[in-house]
Amino acid sequence: MPLSSSTPDLHDDLVHRLGAPLDAANAAYEHHRAAHNALLDQLASKRTVVEQGGGQKAIDREHSRGKMTARERIAALCDEGSPFFELATFAGDGMYEAEGGCPSGGVVAGFATVSGRTVLVLANDATVKAGAWFPITAKKNLRVQEIALENHVPLIYLVDSAGVFLPMQDEIFPDKEHFGRMFRNNAILSSKGIPQIAAIMGSCVAGGAYLPIMSDEALIVEGTGSVFLAGPFLVRAAIGEVVDQETLGGASTHSAISGVTDYTMKDDAHAIQTIRDLVSHFAPTPAPVFARAEPTAPAFSPDELTAVVPTVATTPYDIRQVLARLVDADSWTEYKAEYGQTIVCGYARLDGWSVGIVANQREVVKAQRTGGAKELQAGGVIYSDSADKAARFILNCNQKGIPLVFLQDVTGFMVGSRAEHGGIIKDGAKMVNAVANSTVPKFTVVLGNSYGAGNYAMCGRAYDPRLMLAWPTARIAVMGGAQAAKTLLQIETAKLKKQGKVLTAEEEQALLDDIQARYDATISPYYAAARLWVDEVIDPRSTRDWLALGLRMAALNPDLPRFNPGVIQT
């Protein structure tokens, strides 16, 4: 049930006209919204489970020790009434069931406003295996540090961890992107003048002891905070010394004797208030390095996004209707509107910030052809002309220093003899080259499909978007589920045939259903979020807020590398 087309007359006011009011009489309006609401209910339900961490019993245990939980600490740290933009909420989702699970990767992370400043927070969740480090914990910590490095955002660590989860130490400890990389990042952040504050609010053991002490300033909470390279049991085993935890590495030891920590705190609340005071003394935020005008609201409410976009992957819709509910009203200037129409490019403002938009168009469009009739082009597919247009637009944005926003709903590049003869690989390579070498901040939102090389060309995770977000309707894979399942079925039936077994039609259908179910589970946004292929699964209606946050943080870093796209195929 597609909405009636609202594509503007391309010969009439191409500059600022964008989108149209929704037709309330169109049944698709409520159908799409109801389908999205079901997905949003699922998102809320999954969040509720994750936010329980290790469960109520573990939460009660922390409270009995006079400690706040990770989420309670963050809530107290944030300025009153300010939102917390959580990152990687679903890290580790379904990945460590044999070990009892690792909700949110055992660490809560995200953007907070503290004493009026945007900061990143990393807080170990001691309700999850005493805050032990799983492989995904290291990956999540490193991703947050990467965001801090790219954008010069201050970092606050709320440390409460028993250290490496020993049964999986080989997947956490020695490699380049493992545990040790975090201390390397501590040092690099410090060298760049990006503030780091750490509060030791529980255990801080072994190599993890370096994290707070390599920060600019370290606080420790009396009675609950402890930091040492080796705990009492290991000390006794190694050198025969019998010593209790407090004497070995408690607050009085490190504040009065070793000088390892800088501030002694009486409890969690005292530590959090002191952090807020320290942040209030940070140097003023530098002037933004990107153009910003006075923000204006979109022409139409972002709340209508769930009505605009269908949840069915094959149903067409006009991406301009999405843009009209994201960008500032009357700020749109479309680039090459009549050419390469399966990608829509244009300049706009988002919360006042100047941005370049590169967005897949899922409506079927007519390709521009000279000397003959126009041909239909399938929506969501990248053709040679759209790849060529997008590449040129990306180059222009880098030339002008304009951040890029990619809205993905792409099934891949066009295939077939006509596409190959027309040079689709060459034109696709041109677009990938432009994205790969782009130096302005890039932000990616996966609205629907994100398949194959289309994921790459539209700035997927491998191409360093400052933030990569996904709607609950997102699907990320090398190809769509139906195509993949049929391909895998052919492989499986051929293998069985070699073994002398020929399937009946019913057996073949059952096998196809099983293959597709297993494949579909791997292309969901939660599967991607569990592995940090995306930074967060978000409510579509919050997309503008997330992008505004990203642009605000990106403006803090003035050090953009020189743009040099290298050899471009022509």
CA atoms within 13 A on the CB side of 564: 3
pLDDT in tens, 195-236: 999 999 998 887 677 888 899 999 999 999 999 887 888 888
The pair phi, psi for residue 278, each rounded to 5°, is -65, -40
Alpha carbons 198 and 159: distance in angstroms, whole number: 7
pLDDT in tens, 56-115: 999 999 999 999 999 999 999 999 999 999 999 999 999 998 888 999 999 999 999 999
- pLDDT at residue 5, rounded to an integer: 43
Alpha carbons 6 and 504: distance in angstroms, whole number: 48
Name the residue among 157, 110, 95, 102 with its Cα closest to residue 131.
102
- How much is the pTM? 0.92
Name all domains of the chain by residue range, CATH numbers in brackets: 1-49+289-478+524-559 (3.90.226.10), 52-280 (3.90.226.10), 481-522 (no CATH)
Inter-CA distances, 166 with 156, 170, 171, 252, Å: 26, 8, 10, 29
- What's the sign of the alpha-carbon dihedral 552, 553, 558, 559? negative
The pair phi, psi for residue 500, each rounded to 5°, is 90, 10
- pLDDT at residue 12, rounded to an integer: 46
- Both tokens of 376, joined, read 């239909």
Alpha carbons 317 and 420: distance in angstroms, whole number: 27
CA atoms within 13 A on the CB side of 252: 5
- What does pLDDT average to over the chain? 90
Q: In which residue ranges of the chain is pLDDT below 50?
A: 1-12, 14-15
- pLDDT at residue 378, rounded to an integer: 80
